[in-house]
Amino acid sequence: MSVSDRLPDYPVNSDFVKKLKSALEGRDEARLRDLICADVQHVDAVIELANDDWMKDPCAQLPPGVLAGLWTLEYKRELTTPLCIAAAQGHTACVRHLLGRGADPDASPGGRCALHEACLGGHTACARLLLQHRADPDLLSAEGLAPLHLCRTAASLGCAQALLEHGASVQLEGGASRDTPLHVAAQRGLDEHARLYLNRGARVDARNGRGETALSAACGAAWRPDEHARCLRLCALLLRHGAAADTRDEDERSPLHKACGHARPGLARLLLRHGADARALDYGGASPLARVLQTAACAPEAEPQLTVQELLNHGSPTVWPDAFPKVLKSCAAVPAVIEVLFNSYPQLRVSESWKEVIPEEVFQVHQAFYQSLFALAHTPRCLQHLCRCAIRKSFGRKCFSLVPLLPLPESLQNYLLLEAEGVLH
């Protein structure tokens, strides 16, 4: 008999479950403790918290739209135990009480055991108690995830430490994505977790089911602006431990492709200085520069021109001249990107027809810049710009390191490195 077919000791419509749900929803710890520790018939009782089997009832009144798609629905039940509930809520005293009465720490009628729940909630004391009572540190959930894979928050660091102390494998692949614990830490910016795993022998360049290393996973995660510093620390940690900066995933995308896809100049700079290839192409033929240009209009607050600048100063090929109008159309609202890219050409013929791809409201907001751009339709670039291009061509992909060595004022060094000024000359 499968787990979903077994009869629970406390069905979802029982008075006990109704009281339990009320206590959980109201965060009534005293009532929850009484229900779990005193009211259950035996410590490993199976409790049903949810059940959608009513959808199979011919008498069920469902809207026609739902009925039409009912064949796609899966029957789901949420089964658990008192120990799992106590561990998920972080009730150490309840966990101790139940274990003292012989509760099975590895029981998982709902697909996750109490140790999984403790790690998900970041409840270190509960996790340690369970491990001391011989909970399996590598037990897989129904989704194929070990407890270490569920250490997903900063609060779960203590749980991860306890698991490793009790023999958990730091190399274990989990779930459909086959992530290692290091991948999980990288995806969530958990630098302390990552340091712990690396110090315990985690392979820094292990690949998951998508061919990603931990560095690639970190660079591809959707970080909020206030998390960028944490992302940089994490990636720097991985690189210090020998992560290859230019590994490719199953789509031939490098960490640099992913960093540029999110327009992160600091991360792009870090990767480039560790040997990432600014000229790399993915399976779709896109370069890191193409990735940031695709993103620029969606994330102007990330200052995508700085990422473009980093790439060009590390030898990235510029855009084919005939394709420049497409870039102008997609990046019109971020003129600093247009400026940096335009200044990477010794001479680029400006057409009056370009005005048609710039929305009028955008032109008005950035009028000074676009007037300076279209003024160049009738005149060559200045001698200073041509000298800049000659020097940059000579330095090639070493512009970022050689320009600062020139005996020039900082303002001229910035000029050579394509610092945006707001207008074109």
156 vs 119: CA distance, rounded Å: 6
45 vs 223: CA distance, rounded Å: 42
Determine the longest span between alpha carbons in the chain, in angstroms: 90
For the chain, give the percent of residues with pLDDT over 90: 76
57 vs 76: CA distance, rounded Å: 14
Return the closest-CA partner of residue 147 out of 109, 127, 119: 119
331 vs 322: CA distance, rounded Å: 16
CB 181 within 8 A of CB 193: yes
Specify the 3-state DSSP secondary structure of 254.
coil
- Mean pLDDT confidence for 47-64: 58
Is the predicted pLDDT of residue 74 greater than 90, yes or no?
no
Confidence of residue 53 (pLDDT cuts 50, 70, 90): low
pLDDT of residue 229: 87
Name the range with the highest mean pLDDT among 12-26, 60-74, 294-308, 334-348.
Answer: 334-348
The predicted-structure confidence for 140-190, as pLDDT tens digits, reads as follows 999 999 999 999 999 999 999 999 999 999 999 999 999 999 999 999 999
Alpha-carbon radius of gyration of the chain: 29
Is the predicted pLDDT of residue 335 greater than 90, yes or no?
yes
Is the predicted pLDDT of residue 69 greater than 70, yes or no?
no
pLDDT of residue 249: 96
| Assigned CATH class of 1-56+76-166+174-199 | mainly alpha
pLDDT of residue 76: 63
For the chain, give the percent of residues with pLDDT over 70: 93
Query: CATH 1.25.40.20 in the chain, residues?
Result: 1-56+76-166+174-199
pLDDT of residue 73: 45
Return the closest-CA partner of residue 66 out of 77, 51, 54, 78: 54
CB 342 within 8 A of CB 372: no
The predicted-structure confidence for 246-266, as pLDDT tens digits, reads as follows 999 999 999 999 999 988 899
Name the amino acid, one letter, at 94. Answer: C
CB 340 within 8 A of CB 307: no
Confidence of residue 1 (pLDDT cuts 50, 70, 90): very low
- Mean pLDDT confidence for 275-299: 94
Query: Angle at Cα 253 formed by Cα 249 and Cα 256, nearest 5°?
Result: 120
Residue 225, C-beta contacts closer than 8 angstroms, at least 6 positions apart:
301, 302
351 vs 376: CA distance, rounded Å: 9
Cβ atoms within 10 Å of 368's Cβ, excluding its own: 11
Is the predicted pLDDT of residue 59 greater than 90, yes or no?
no
Confidence of residue 27 (pLDDT cuts 50, 70, 90): confident
Instruction: Give the CA distances from residue 56 to residues 52, 299, 367, 405, in Å, rounded to whole numbers and listed in that order.
Output: 8, 46, 63, 75
Tell me the average pLDDT of the chain.
90
CA torsion angle for 159, 161, 163, 167 (degrees, to 10)?
Answer: 180
318 vs 53: CA distance, rounded Å: 59
Window from 294-298, 303-307, 364-368 with minimum mean pLDDT: 294-298
266 vs 279: CA distance, rounded Å: 18
175 vs 213: CA distance, rounded Å: 16
End-to-end CA distance of the chain: 78
Residue 74, C-beta contacts closer than 8 angstroms, at least 6 positions apart:
none
3-state helix, strand, coil in the chain (%, to 5): 55, 5, 40
